Structure formats: structure tokens, C-alpha cells
A and B are shown apart, each in its own frame.
Chain A
């Protein structure tokens, strides 16, 4: 609505739809025609991938700003993806598109990435599922990464339409067996050419050694021990083979309730307090069993309630926190805001391969606008729509909970025990967030990957069910992991220098959830993964399958593109003064734990803006203090902790807290808006500042190199600056995504609404009118 040349629409009224003027550039049509006749785009298949069905002369709608055109091509469905093979890729083959995914192309949709499929019948839009009696003239695919594809099937042979539509519906929506996942066919076929990145130091936590290493790193080994009681999953299938428990806990306790009711160690803080998690004991009606459970728990609590253990605070995440249902509902509302279809097209007639279509709102047929409303139509009530989805509020609540727990551990030196039914959903989320805030190691790329490996993959988060990869039970689908990534994004967005990875990293990580060649997100538990790989191994009488992990980024991206995943502004922690630093940090945190000392220590602090952030922080402090005054539930501790942290300069290698006030929780624009051309700012936004910064860093580096040369030092540090960023002077704010729209033409501004004065004669005729205007 803010769009293109609409002068109208001020205030709360809806603007008239723009009447677009098309640009048909003759040379464009010409080249396209030529290309299609000369070469067919070949289908690129992965090892083990099989073509299932296809249809030709499918018209894919391409939106370029407000002009729309169609591209003819082939629509194919394999056991891995749906792909459109048209020639509009040719425009992308320049060097600006180096951020290309090697596995999933621009026009590829992996089967697991398909969210909803709609068909258009007689200009009516319907959800497609099951057996169809009638086949649609248009296919609309909503993807889980929020792309929207529209294919026109009007010029396709009826036979082919039937085959492709039912094929796509069947392969994306019918329940699947785990063994039928593409993961296995790929692994079998690609057995030999699987390359594991030797430089990948992500800790997988699948050996006892990894856990011991983590214990040592966090100095948790004094009070906690790694156990191998579940080796071979003898005790429990929900738990990983190795995990960590408090040292005095007898191992037979673990077996007692199949791992339920056992405090499992997540992480230890530098001050000795630890984060623990526990899956709740099964709910029983029988009093006798309840009694047994109670005495068992009493025993367990006794072991961790006495010194050397800190006081334990139990956080029950199953009750009085978020419910999974809430998360799912919020996200499905939220995503609709971004799943924007193209403006509908008029009946198309033409024989060119590429046709730029001319349409005006009156002649265009309208789709029933349930969720394919235009981007700008929602603009005027954008904030209330955003708010009513309550997705942002859920993010806020997660961050707040994590801060509360951080406060307990950091300031009150307490152990925190997270309690959840299976300890595999919100437990993973909260404990990862706490670690991210408290442990700077988790903010490096390796550390973050290890964290996900530890808390989510080994923690038994049911990726398969939560992502609904097998389409077996829609009710299990809850985007918990995505919620986690969004929370992390808030932190990254608020404190960019503290993280070694970028928001682009988070975005491609979220995309990787749906690429079934990586084992990371395609199992419900380590047990499920191991058993399925093992059996396969026996069947074929060869070594067990070598599944790829998502952490091997070279599978998806060229080294050049990978530089975009790394934050050039991240400053590594200086390693020299390790001991000294520790002491300082500790002191700093002591202060935090005694917030009242702050007022006396330096009265200057609160009143001067010694640095820019300070006042802002102060102001936010006011806000939060106000908010907390109004709700009695929150403890003073939390508020003091939060205020006091935010009124100090940030130590990027220390504790890191997010702002959680109303305006501070934002939309992850890169992920959610990247496919919406209207939302991008060419040459603007943070990306612009970033590229300037990089230029400067580069200059500094080259100067440094020159100095080093002069001093005949052997080697200058060859840091690789992301050259992708430099290529183009005016990058889109959605960089590195949404490159498609780069070459688009701008619509002509309609002059309606202007009073155009004509030439002299015309003016003379209007003389009276002028005076009239004055008389009004």
C-alpha cells in the first residue's frame, strides 16, 4: 500500500490499488525466446535422487516489483524436491548470486519444506489434499521458509497436470515411514563421496570424552560426573548414550524410572552453580506408586540439596509457562503475515516465452484474499496484526524466563533445575538461551553448534515430530527450534559484536531444518538415529551409514559464500590475560549481585551520558521498572539484576542480557521478509552500514599488512573479508537474499491526484478555475 506510485491512502483509509503500467522491453523477450528454444535447463539430481513425475509448459509467476510476468518451464517432482526448470535462472548467473545454496536452488522446494498447497479452481482458492476429483488451473505452494510459488497449469497437458499435481500432493502430504526419508537413499548413494570437514570442531556429544571435555571446560567436574549407564540405550531410549549427573547420584537411580526424575546436568556457571534438567515422572493415579515416586524424588533431592551443592530452585516449565499449543498457534498466525502471494493475474494469453503482463485491478480476477492479501494492505494495521499473533510476546517471555534463571545462577548463586514432561522442548530452549547469555563460548560458531548438539540433538528434541517431517501427526508440529532461533536472533540483533555468527547464519540454519540430507534435524532422539543407521548397516552388510551433519557448511555453500556466515565485527576474546580477566569478571559480577552498591560507588554514573547507550539504557531501565512495579509477580531481584546490567557498559565476553521491553523485540526481517520485494530497501538499512564497516576493516588490514611487510615479519594475518558484500555498491537490505528482484524495473508513477497544468492555452482556459479555487 505504501507502494509504487500510489499517492493516495493517507490516514487510515485504504489506498486505491495502483494501476500498474508495464514495461515490455522488446530485447528481453527476444533473448528469452532464444534461450528456451536453444537449451533445455537440465535437472540436477543429487546422489540417490529419483525423478518421480514431471510436467512441461508450466508457467511460473515471477514478480518483479509490481510488474509480473510468467516464465515457461518444466515442473518436476523427485523424491527430494519439487523443482521448476525455467530459464529465469539465467538472470541470476552473474557473480552477485554467489550466495547460492549448492543443494537447494532458487526454484527448488524440498519436499519437507512444503507447508501448504493450494489449487485455484475457477478463480477460487482451495487447500489441496488427498485424492482430487478435479485438477486446478493454478497451483500455489507455500513453503516453510516462507517462499510462495505460483504455477499456472493452463497450458499444460491434462495428463501431465494430473500426474504432477497428485504426485506433489502425495509426496509432500502423505504420511511417510522413517526409512523412506531421502536421508537414507542419499547416504547410501553418497557413501563414498561423503566428505567430512576436518576443520569442523563442533562437539557432537556422542562420546563420553565430549561430555568430560565439557565438564572440564565449565569446571563442573568437581561436583558432576559423566556416566555411561545408558550405553547402547539399555536404560532409556529418550536419553543419549552418555550424559552427566551429580557425582553422588547412584547409577541405579537412573534405571529406576527409565531416566525420569533424574537431575541431568546441562551447564556449570563460573561461580559453581549449575543448570540442571529433569523429565517429570510419569503421572500415576495409584496412591502406592505415587508414594514410591515421592520417596524416590525425596532421595534424589537430598543428594543435590546438601553441600557442596548450591540451593536448588525448581522451574517447572510444563505448568505456568508457555504451552506448546500456544507456540504453534502463535506461529501459524504470525507466518501468515509474510506468506504473501502475488497480486492475481489476469487471464493470460500470449505465445511469448516471457511475457510481461499488463494488468489493472479492475480487469484482474481476484483470489479470495484469505492470506494472499497484498503486503501493503496489511500495512496500516501491521502492528496490531503482529501483536495479535503474540509470537513476539512469546519470544519475550522466553527471553524473560532465561533472564530470571540467569539471575538465580549469577546473582544468587543457586542451582536451577528445569522440569518438563520429557525435558526435550522448552527445556532445550531455555537452557540453551541461558547458556548463550552466560557463556561467551556459546556465542562462537563452534560453541553455538556444540550447544545445539548438546541441548537439542542429544537432549532428545523430537525434530521429526516437531517439524512434522513425516506428516504422521499434525498435532505434534510445534516450531520450538524456530522459536529458539528467533530468540537467538534477538540477541544477535541487539548485541552484534558479541556473536561470531551472523543473522544470515541463523537464517540458513533455519532453512536447513527442511533439507533431508543432514541427519541433524531428522531424528527424534539419538537412539532413533543410531538404531536406524545400525540396521541399515547390517542389512547391506557394510559399514554403517555415514550421515552428513548440517554443521558441515561446505556441503551447502562455497567458501566464499560461507564468509557471510561469519561476523566480521566479532572480536575474539584475548587469550593472554586469561587469569587476570577471570578475576575482573568475577568482581564485576559480584557487583551485579549486589546492585545496591552501585548507587554509592559512583554517583556520576546515573546522571551523565558518558556514552551513547547509557541514556538509552537508563530510559529502558525506567520502562522496565515501571513494568515491574505494575505486576507484583516479578521479584525485585530480577528487576535489579536487569536494570543494573543494562546500566553498565556491555562486556561482550561476559554476561549478555537482551532488552525485552515492548519496542525491543523485533521481527526477524531477514528470515521473514526476504522473499517480499516490497520490503527491501535497496542500498539501505544495516547492510549499508555493514559494507562500509567492512571496507574500513579491509583498509585497516591492508595497512597492517604493509606495516608488517616493512618490518619483515613472516606472515601477515590473512583475514578473509566477505567479498560478496563489496561487489555491489547498492545492496538490498535483505542481502544476501532476494537477489531476484535486483534487475526489476520501477513502475511509472501515476499522475492521478495531481492537478497538472497544461500549456499556456490550457491555462488560459482555466483562468476562472483558478479564481474559483481562491474563492472557495
Chain B
């Protein structure tokens, strides 16, 4: 098991320039200005960020208790200990930063027994003595408020958090932030990883994979085939766009079969949605569907992705249980920890995913069979399986660049509903499939440390970035929404690759600790066609049978 999310948000880089101070803040804290110089608070704000309220408080639950300030801004809640100094050397932010979307549960406590769960929009019924912020990323922050005339401030900051959460609704997401200078700055430079938003990106990638029988289709350029599909994707050479359109109409949400990955041996990995239930295909349509599915191969294997894999509800439940287990206040005794871990079934699900992926990988690589992954929605486990298969079979996918473009292609461009799955749009349909994927990758990394260019810390950084609001990569449901947003802004939005700068720095640091060979040496020493032997992967848990802490 991988303890994702140790609670750092990598993305909130310190900015030098002075932010605009919100008028709200001016009016709310005149009398205590002397206690806490506002410049100190403001110096850590992002451009476009406004301080809504603050109150002096005491970080609790961990020795030693720390006094400091709890601050609520329009996109995060943060706790700044007294005497806190910005460390210029590190891009990492403090571990007390909670992006508003990252707040899973908010509780106000008064006395020993009075606890109020604060949902967005609820009204605080008492003056809180303590506030508990449960992060979705396994963190817990407890801040106690000082008595003696400061109670109104405690009340204000709590209410400000409640309101800010209500307002940080994805309906009008973070316009302030993305419009900011930070957004413009990163938008102006070329992304280090192809975002798969242009036909050129797709063509380049196609050539890289030497998928000769395939071409980039522009049929979805206006998102009229499917809004959840990318503008461009790969279809067989000899299939006309009209046939594509025709065939895709018979798949759930218009997600017909597309190429995911071409194996140099000649086999292909395809993914598609379920067959559209209400469709009534004529002969021609059926032929189009068939030829798209077969893509020139005489023998293809259709894999029902959902078979033997956990449902979305399973994943969500397991993740909740896992989080409960790993929270500092979990009540599991240490000698019962392993069975509690087993009880979450999270590891079971990881195992199921890896097993299935390794089986498919055998088919595609050593048996040179083409495989079609079929999932009803084609937006969750298909992406997971197809990414895992590529990680297992294609050494390029195990480089830093390759992995990022894999995520970009199979998750972001392929329309994984990140916002919904990560709980951005409300309770239903939440399921951290992407985190499950990252954990699967972590298992592989644990087992084959020498085969990956990236480290555990990269995965952690990625894990923590999924809820950071200044990237567009993860906070949208479809490529269409993403495109709409960046189109409106007139700039290409910062994406996952915005991470790159910070990561390169981070990598620099990491190299000092984790001696890893450079990619050049890597490729020199190893047969580049090394394939992680799938049967090797099955030893997933027993080797480290004990739930790794990493």
C-alpha cells in the first residue's frame, strides 16, 4: 500500500509580487492589525488570492502545540505558525495548506461534547473553541482558538471557510486564479509535455509508436461526436471519417473504439465504451463497427474491463476506509493494523487491477494479439488498464516524459471525469480511480525500482496536485470543458506540465537522496525493449506483504 498524500501541495509556489489585498480583509481586522502585521500574511499569497478572514490559533493534536494564525483566503485555508519564515530554497508549501477543494470535512468543536459538522452553506451555531479540518489527502488540521476577546474572530474565520467552500463551487471555478499573472506566465511558454490538444501532438505520438495502419482523425474537432472525447484521436487508416461518425453513434456517449497504444510487434490496444443500448444499427453501421473494432487484425480479443475489477462504489468505499485507517486519529491498535488494512480491500483492488493489466500485457506483447478494452463509460477503468498495460509493456512509458504524456493521453485527453471522481461536484459518483492508478504505479515502482525514471516522490507530487486549483489538468471533467475554459481565457491554461518546473527542481533535490541513473545510462545499460514480465508482477504483496509505508 502506498501512503499517498502526505499532505503537501507542491504547486503553490511562493510569489514575489504583492497581491491585491481584498477589501473584505480591510474591514474585518482593523483592531488586531498590530498583533499580526498584514504584510506577513500577505507575503505568501498567490496573485489573485484574497484573504477573507483570519484568527490567531493554536495548532493542536501534535506535540508540541504551535501558536500561529489561521487564515482563510478565496482558495485555501492555511495555518501559519508564528515566526514562520518562507524558505526560499524549496518550492514546497507548508503542510498546513488546504486548498478549499481539498477540505473533505469541517468540524467546529466547543467544549468536550459540542461538535458541529459544517457543510457548505450551514450556519455556525456557537463560538468554536476548536476547528478540525479533514483533508481529502489524509491530513487533519486541528486549530484551537484563543479566548479573551478574540472569539468574534474565531467565529468569523470559521464562517469565512464555510462560505468560501460554498463559493468555490466548480460552476465558477477559480477564475480569479487562472486569470492571474501566474496563469499567464505559465501559459506563455511551451508545455514540456504534449498536451494532446492539437493534431500535431497526435501525429507526433502516432509516428513515435510507429502505428502505420492508423491515422489522426479530425472528426471530433468541434466535439460534436462526443464532448468527452478529445478533439483528435486515432482510427484505422482505411476507415473514413463518415464511417467513424456512423460507428461511434452506436457506442455509449459516442465513445467508439480508438487506438490507445500500438505494440511494435504489430498488435494494438484499443479502448471503447459500451454499445449504445437504444441504437438500431443497419448493416452498414455494423460493418463500420466491426471494421473499427478489428482494425485490420483477423483476431482480436474483447475484454470486458469491468469484469473482476472493483466498481466505482467499491473504489470509493475502500478509499474512505483507507483514509480513515491512515488518519492520525484512527483508532486501530497497532497489532490490528494489518487486518484493518486488509479490511479496507484497497490492496485487493490494486491487485485485481495489476493482475488484469498483466494478463492483457501478455496478450498484447508476447502473444501479439490485439485487445479491445470495453467499459460502459470508457472513462474510468479503461484508462487505468490501458495505462497500466503500457507501463508494463513499453519502457518509454516508464520515463518521466513518457509517463506524463501517458497520463495526459489516457486520462486527461481521454476525458476521465476528474472533477466528479475526486468529489468536486458533490457526493455521488465520487471514486478516486486516478489515485488507485497512482497506487498501482507505486506498487510497480516498489517492485521494479530500476525500471522507472521517476521516483516515488514524483508520484506523491502528482497525487497532491490533483486537488490544487491552479492547474486545469485535473479539475475538469472533459476535454471540451477544458478547452472551453482556456478558450475563454484566451490562453492555454496551466496544466499538469506546469508542475514540470517545480518537479525538475524537486528531482534535483531527490537525486541527492535517491541515486538513480540518468535516462542515458539507463537506456545504454538495458535492452530498451525490456518488458516487465507480467508474471513477475503478481508477487505484488507477499514480498512486501506488510503494507509498505514506502
Contact = CB atoms under 8 A, between A and B. Distances in A.
Given A607-B81, A626-B329, A774 B276 contact: yes
Contacts of B334: 393, 396, 627, 660-662
Contact of B545 (A667, A682, A746): A667
Contact of A755 (B290, B304, B329): B304
Interface string A654-675: 0000011111111101000100
Interface string B15-46: 00000000000000000000000000000000
Interface centre among A390, A609, A693, A776 (most CB of B within 10 A): A609
Nearest to A750: B359
Contact of B546 (A2, A392, A604, A660): A392
Given A382-B545, A763-B294, A603 B337 contact: no
B458 to A, nearest CB: 12
A125 B85 CA distance: 70
B12 to A, nearest CB: 14
B341 interface: yes
B110 interface: no
Contact of A623 (B95, B328, B516): B328
A663 B449 contact: no
A604 B533 CA distance: 46
B132 to A, nearest CB: 14
A663 B549 contact: yes
B447 A771 contact: no
Nearest to A381: B342
Interface stretch (B149-157, B159-167, B305-313): B305-313
Given A692-B517, A746-B533, A763-B294, A663 B341 contact: yes
Contact of A682 (B84, B309, B536): B536
A683 interface: yes
Contact of A604 (B1, B85, B275, B330): B85
A666 B546 contact: yes
A542 interface: no
A386 B545 contact: yes
B542 A612 contact: no
A756 B301 contact: yes
B526 interface: yes
Contacts of B66: 603, 606
B293 interface: yes
Interface stretch (A4-12, A79-87, A147-155): A4-12
A749 interface: yes
A660 B546 CA distance: 13
Contact of B336 (A387, A686, A776): A387
Interface in B286-344: 286, 289-290, 293-294, 298-304, 307-310, 328-339, 341-342
Interface centre among A3, A663, A758, A773 (most CB of B within 10 A): A663
Contacts of B293: 757
Contacts, number: 272
Contacts of A10: 307-310, 348, 352, 355-356
Interface string A1-44: 01111111111100000000000000000000000000000000
Contacts of B520: none
B230 to A, nearest CB: 24
Contacts of B355: 2, 6-7, 9-10
A749 B365 CA distance: 12
A759 B290 CA distance: 11
Contact of B342 (A382, A606, A659, A680): A382
Contact of A663 (B367, B540, B547): B547
B449 A669 contact: no
A760 interface: yes
B63 A625 contact: yes
B83 A643 contact: no
Interface stretch (B86-94, B391-399, B417-425, B467-475): B86-94
B538 A2 contact: yes
A625 B446 CA distance: 28
Interface in A192-209: none
A685 B545 contact: no
A729 interface: yes
B171 to A, nearest CB: 34
A653 B543 CA distance: 30
A745 to B, nearest CB: 11
Interface in A622-659: 622-623, 625-627, 630, 640, 643, 659
B468 to A, nearest CB: 17
A630 B331 contact: yes
A608 B66 CA distance: 14
A660 B448 CA distance: 26
Contacts of A696: 515, 517
Contacts of B533: 682-683, 746
Contact of A757 (B281, B302, B535): B302
A324 B183 CA distance: 66
A361 to B, nearest CB: 18
Interface in B372-411: none
B541 A689 contact: no
Contacts of A620: 549
Interface in A286-326: none
B96 interface: yes
B348 to A, nearest CB: 7
A753 interface: yes
Contact of B274 (A660, A678, A774): A774
Interface residues of A, number: 100
Contacts of A729: 526
Contacts of A612: 457, 510, 513
Contact of B448 (A65, A619, A683): A683
A679 B308 contact: no
A596 B62 contact: no
Contacts of A95: none
A773 to B, nearest CB: 5
B99 interface: no
Contact of B6 (A4, A619, A660, A673): A619
Contacts of A610: 90
Nearest to A692: B450
Contacts of A181: none
Interface in B443-490: 446-451, 457
A577 interface: no
B515 A693 contact: yes
A763 B372 CA distance: 15
B8 interface: yes
A435 interface: no
Contact of A749 (B359, B516, B547, B549): B359
A224 interface: no
A662 B308 contact: no
A379 B541 contact: yes
B499 interface: no
A680 B533 CA distance: 12
Given A643-B63, A678-B539, A387 B83 contact: no
A5 B94 contact: no
Contact of B308 (A8, A606, A666, A755): A8
A607 B94 contact: yes
Given A11-B352, A683-B448, A384 B338 contact: yes
Contacts of A771: 275, 281, 286
Contacts of B345: 11-12
Interface of B: 1, 3, 6-8, 61-64, 66, 81-85, 87, 90, 92, 94-96, 250, 274-277, 279, 281, 286, 289-290, 293-294, 298-304, 307-310, 328-339, 341-342, 345, 348, 351-352, 355-356, 359, 362-363, 367, 446-451, 457, 510, 513, 515-517, 526, 533, 535-550
10 contacts: A2-B355, A7-B308, A607-B84, A622-B61, A663-B1, A663-B337, A678-B539, A684-B450, A757-B294, A757-B301
5 tightest A-B contacts by CB? Answer: A662-B337, A774-B275, A10-B308, A383-B342, A599-B64
Given A383-B338, A622-B62, A757-B302, 10 more contacts: A2-B540, A382-B542, A608-B94, A619-B328, A681-B539, A685-B447, A689-B449, A746-B535, A749-B362, A773-B274
